[in-house]
Amino acid sequence: MQIEAQVLRILDEVLSLGGRSAAFDRNTHLLGAIPELDSMAVVSLLTALEEQLGLVVDDDDIDGATFATVGSLSDFVSAKLGA
């Protein structure tokens, strides 16, 4: 659950959600549901995740499904940290 909290904090920060991510859960849809999450924001979000959590994300590691929900993004981060 700690990773999910970190992902939510970074989402809120990068997308300037003003605390709206506090209401998000694993099933909250992201890509296509949150107007702030556009293609440029995805790049910023990945950069922030890499810098703040020490991830290394290769271009072929990610696809639209990664950003489908808070849960899918958290699971992606968990897998990266465990690898």
- Where do the domains of the chain lie, and which CATH numbers do they carry? 2-82 (1.10.1200.10)
| Residues 6+ positions from 26 with CB-CB distance below 8 Å | 4, 69, 70, 71, 74
pLDDT band, very low/low/confident/very high, at 59 (cuts 50, 70, 90): confident
What number of H helices and E strands is found in the chain? 3, 0
Mean pLDDT of the chain: 94
Tell me, what's the pLDDT at 69?
97
User: For 14-39, how does the pLDDT look when each residue is reduced to its tens digit (9 = 90+)?
Assistant: 999 999 999 999 999 999 999 999 98
Share of residues in the chain with pLDDT > 70 (%): 98
The secondary structure element, H or E, covering residue 74 is: helix 70-82
Compute the Cα dihedral for 42, 59, 7, 48 and give only its sign. negative
